């Protein structure tokens, strides 16, 4: 960090890992490097990206999230830049940084529904691979009013990308753990006699996992998983998975 203000922004970002204000802190931290309109972070583990994080200066400005959802639903398959970066990066932790001007997007609906509609003119993208070689896509956006990214800003973004990736990974993991803890607490609240194994199986059923997948994750036989399921269902006075889901939709 070059000065005390930047250090304080970083400390605030670290403190917000796992909290709902993490996106705001990320935006404030990025402001130390460059002036942005929006940012978004995607993770790709299959053919369909997942929007992990998005942000803007105004709390009621949800355009970054809207753009991300449109991108996932309609246009990620037309993002040649994304496909090129993923195919190019074979090594773990290899960094790739690229610029995309709105005028260079060949697929007209993609350009119109995201860049033209929201007056965006440039995207600075960094790709970082985690320990499992899954790519994280960090997108920084500017509109016509803010102009284009400078070489200095691109260089600074490249330097801080690994650190930001680690923080986002920690944030996503902590949120998932919080959610799992909430489900555990709700299950125990519904039936205090549930054992730890029965809770673990029900949690994973609610996540949509198969019995085989649960068995692999818990290092148990599939028949054992079904035994824990049956015991839990008996205690919860239900018979089917659909009833378990219904309990958490009320």
Domains of the chain: 4-175 (3.30.450.80), 191-247 (1.10.10.10)
Distance of CA 76 to the CA centre of its chain: 15
pLDDT of residue 210: 84
pLDDT of residue 90: 53
pLDDT at 92 over 60: no
pLDDT at 161 over 70: yes
pLDDT of residue 203: 86
Query: Cα-flanking dihedrals φ and ψ of residue 44, to 5°?
Result: -120, 115
Half-sphere exposure of 73 (CA within 13 A, CB side): 9
pLDDT of residue 39: 95
* Mean pLDDT, residues 132-150 taken together: 90
pLDDT of residue 89: 53
pLDDT at 230 over 90: yes
Backbone region of residue 191 per phi and psi (left: phi > 0; alpha: psi in -120 to 50; beta: other values): beta
pLDDT per residue as tens digits for the range 7-42: 777 888 888 887 888 888 899 899 888 889 999 999
Beta bridge partners of 124: 99, 140
Q: Which residue has the higher pLDDT, 226 or 62?
A: 226
Among 55-59, 94-98, 228-232, top mean pLDDT goes to 228-232
Characterize 132-161 residue by residue with b for buried, 16 or more Cβ atoms within 10 angstroms of its Cβ, and e for exposed.
eeebbbbbbbbbeeeeebeeebbebbeebb
Least confident of 17-21, 23-27, 80-84, 122-126: 80-84
3-state secondary structure at position 79: coil
pLDDT bucket at 59, cuts 50 / 70 / 90: low
CA atoms of 153 and 160, how far apart (whole Å): 11
Residue indicated by tokens 């194994």: 197
**Alpha-carbon distance values, 72 to 9, 94, 228 (Å):** 30, 24, 37
Structure tokens at 27: 């935006």
pLDDT bucket at 49, cuts 50 / 70 / 90: confident
Structure tokens at 115: 């860049």
User: Going by C-beta distance under 8 Å and a sequence separation of 6 or more, which residues neighbour residue 154?
Assistant: 97, 99, 124
pLDDT at 140 over 90: yes
pLDDT of residue 48: 75
Where do the DSSP E strands lie in 88-211? Answer: 96-101, 120-129, 135-143
pLDDT of residue 119: 92
pLDDT bucket at 201, cuts 50 / 70 / 90: very high
Q: What is the mean pLDDT of the chain?
A: 85
- pTM of the predicted model, to two decimals? 0.69
pLDDT at 120 over 90: yes
pLDDT bucket at 46, cuts 50 / 70 / 90: low
Residue indicated by tokens 């990620």: 76
pLDDT at 200 over 80: yes
pLDDT of residue 94: 62
């Amino acid at each position: 960090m070059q000065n005390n203000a930047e250090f304080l922004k970083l400390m605030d970002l670290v403190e917000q890992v796992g909290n709902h204000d993490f996106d705001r802190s990320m935006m404030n931290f990025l402001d130390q490097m460059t002036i942005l309109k929006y940012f978004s972070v995607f993770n790709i583990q299959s053919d369909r990206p997942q929007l992990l994080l998005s942000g803007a200066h105004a709390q009621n400005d949800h355009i970054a999230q809207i753009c991300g959802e449109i991108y996932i639903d309609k246009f990620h398959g037309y993002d040649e830049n994304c496909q090129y970066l993923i195919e190019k990066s074979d090594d773990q932790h290899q960094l790739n940084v690229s610029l995309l001007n709105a005028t260079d997007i060949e697929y007209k609906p993609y350009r119109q529904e995201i860049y033209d509609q929201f007056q965006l003119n440039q995207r600075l993208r960094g790709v970082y691979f985690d320990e499992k070689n899954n790519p994280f896509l960090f997108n920084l956006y500017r509109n016509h009013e803010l102009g284009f990214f400078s070489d200095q800003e691109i260089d600074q973004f490249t330097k801080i990308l690994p650190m930001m990736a680690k923080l986002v990974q920690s944030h996503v993991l902590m949120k998932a753990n919080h959610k799992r803890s909430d489900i555990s607490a709700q299950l125990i609240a519904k039936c205090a006699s549930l054992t730890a194994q029965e809770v673990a199986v029900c949690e994973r059923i609610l996540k949509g996992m198969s019995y085989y997948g649960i068995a692999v994750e818990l290092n148990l036989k599939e028949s054992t998983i079904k035994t824990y399921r049956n015991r839990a269902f008996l205690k919860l006075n239900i018979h089917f998975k659909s009833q378990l889901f219904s309990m958490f939709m009320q």
